[in-house]
Amino acid sequence: MSRFCGAVAAGVIFALFSPMQAFSAEPVGQATLIRTEVSGRTGPLVVRSPVHKDERIRTSSSGLGQFIFKDGTKLAVGAGSTVVIDKFVYDDSASVKRLSIKAAKGTFRWISGNSASSAYSIVTPAGTIGVRGTAFDFYVGPNGTTAIVLLNGAASFCGPGGCRQLRQQCDCVIATRGGRMTDPSQVDRRTLQTLSNPRALPFLSGDQQLSGALGGIRTSCGLASLRQDRQERPQPQQRQERPAPQAPQQAPQAPQQAPQASQQAPQQAPDTPDPPDRPDKPDKPDHHHHDWDHHGRDHHDRDHRGHDGDDDDRDRNGRHGHRSDN
């Protein structure tokens, strides 16, 4: 019975202290920058927090962590990411024989350290990135689709569909979990459309800012304007929404102007007919004016009337003179 109790006690002690013993191993690197929330196996990480082999590092939806390993290798872990330090085999104080990480999802930037290129490998759901003394960004989507963008040096990507070599700056390869893989081509806006994520490469677009050597890479591969475009797009929508409340205020003005038109109409109505000119027609009794207006022969009428008058006078005078003679 005493032996049984002793065995149980030993098992409990081993179970309680084995994680601590595993974590009491020498760290393989440490955090150099933490923003928002980044956690490791033991909880939230802060600047100078050590990281160990087999440790899983997670970032929040806005988190960012920068890490440096013992051989000088640098790793940035962007928002919403998960990565595991899979293998770390020491060589000497300045380099390692093996440094391997497994990127489950998210966005990352890698800069090789002092170890041989063959010592590094990055495993993703779609394949493995081979390092050739280089710097590159890579993204792992929720469905395992992986994109790598070369920044300096050279790299390779190998999966079920074969291998692709990236040799020129800003070369990009996209691979799926099923084995499909694109040929290397310059990264551009269409790359983000293919990945169905406009923030798949936040360190190039500027959605997340890095510091130190990780942020010292000057090229953005033409994606730096993407963030500015997204910030400017809502502005035209806001300008269109502002006049909307004024529309009901302008609508009632139409019926207010309509009565003004109707009020002006009766004021102009008396000016259209010319009835005041008709009262001038009482000039008809004037025989000369009437004849002038209708016949244009006023002078002739006067001559005719004058001629008749002279004949009458002659007849009268003649008769009168004749009578006097008798």
Residues 310 and 210 in one domain: no
Residues 210 and 61 in one domain: yes
pLDDT for residue 260 is more than 80: no
Token pair 């063959």: residue: 118
pLDDT for 322 equals 42
pLDDT for 226 equals 72
Lowest-confidence segment of 147-151, 186-190, 275-279, 301-305 by average pLDDT:
301-305
Residues 155 and 294 in one domain: no
- The span from the CA of 173 to the CA of 156, in Å, is 9
Residues 162 and 51 in one domain: yes
Which residue did the predictor score with more confidence, 22 or 203?
A: 203
pLDDT for 281 equals 47
pLDDT digits (tens, 9 = 90+) for 231-249: 666 555 544 545 555 544 5
Residues 208 and 293 in one domain: no
Q: What is the CATH number of the domain that holds 71?
A: 2.60.120.1440
pLDDT for residue 320 is more than 80: no
**243 part of a folded domain:** no
pLDDT for residue 72 is more than 90: yes
Residues 291 and 159 in one domain: no
Task: Kindly state the percentage of the chain with pLDDT values over 70.
Answer: 62
**253 part of a folded domain:** no
Helix (H, G, I), strand (E, B) or coil at 209: coil
Helix (H, G, I), strand (E, B) or coil at 217: coil
Last residue of a domain, one of 196, 226, 256: 226
Give the CA count within 13 Å in the CB-facing half-sphere of 283.
11
**232 part of a folded domain:** no
Last residue of a domain, one of 188, 209, 226: 226
pLDDT for 225 equals 77
pLDDT digits (tens, 9 = 90+) for 202-216: 999 999 999 999 999
**121 part of a folded domain:** yes
The length of the chain, given as a count of residues: 326
Q: What is the mean pLDDT of residues 255-261?
A: 46
pLDDT for residue 131 is more than 50: yes
pLDDT for 234 equals 57
Residues 90 and 191 in one domain: yes
pLDDT for 237 equals 53
Last residue of a domain, one of 192, 211, 226: 226
The pTM of the full predicted model, rounded to 2 decimals, is 0.66
pLDDT for 304 equals 41
Residues 160 and 72 in one domain: yes
Residues 45 and 178 in one domain: yes
User: Does residue 156 contact residue 129 with C-beta atoms inside 8 Å?
Assistant: yes
- The span from the CA of 203 to the CA of 74, in Å, is 14
User: Does residue 30 contact residue 48 with C-beta atoms inside 8 Å?
Assistant: yes
pLDDT digits (tens, 9 = 90+) for 136-179: 999 999 999 999 999 999 999 999 989 999 999 999 999 999 99
pLDDT digits (tens, 9 = 90+) for 263-284: 444 444 444 444 554 544 444 4
Structural domain span for residue 295: 283-325
**267 part of a folded domain:** no
**269 part of a folded domain:** no
Residues 149 and 46 in one domain: yes
**235 part of a folded domain:** no
Residues 222 and 293 in one domain: no
pLDDT for residue 314 is more than 50: no
What is the number of structural domains in the chain?
A: 2
- The span from the CA of 116 to the CA of 94, in Å, is 11
Residues 54 and 148 in one domain: yes
pLDDT digits (tens, 9 = 90+) for 40-63: 999 999 999 999 999 999 999 999
Give 102's strand partners. 84, 123
**246 part of a folded domain:** no
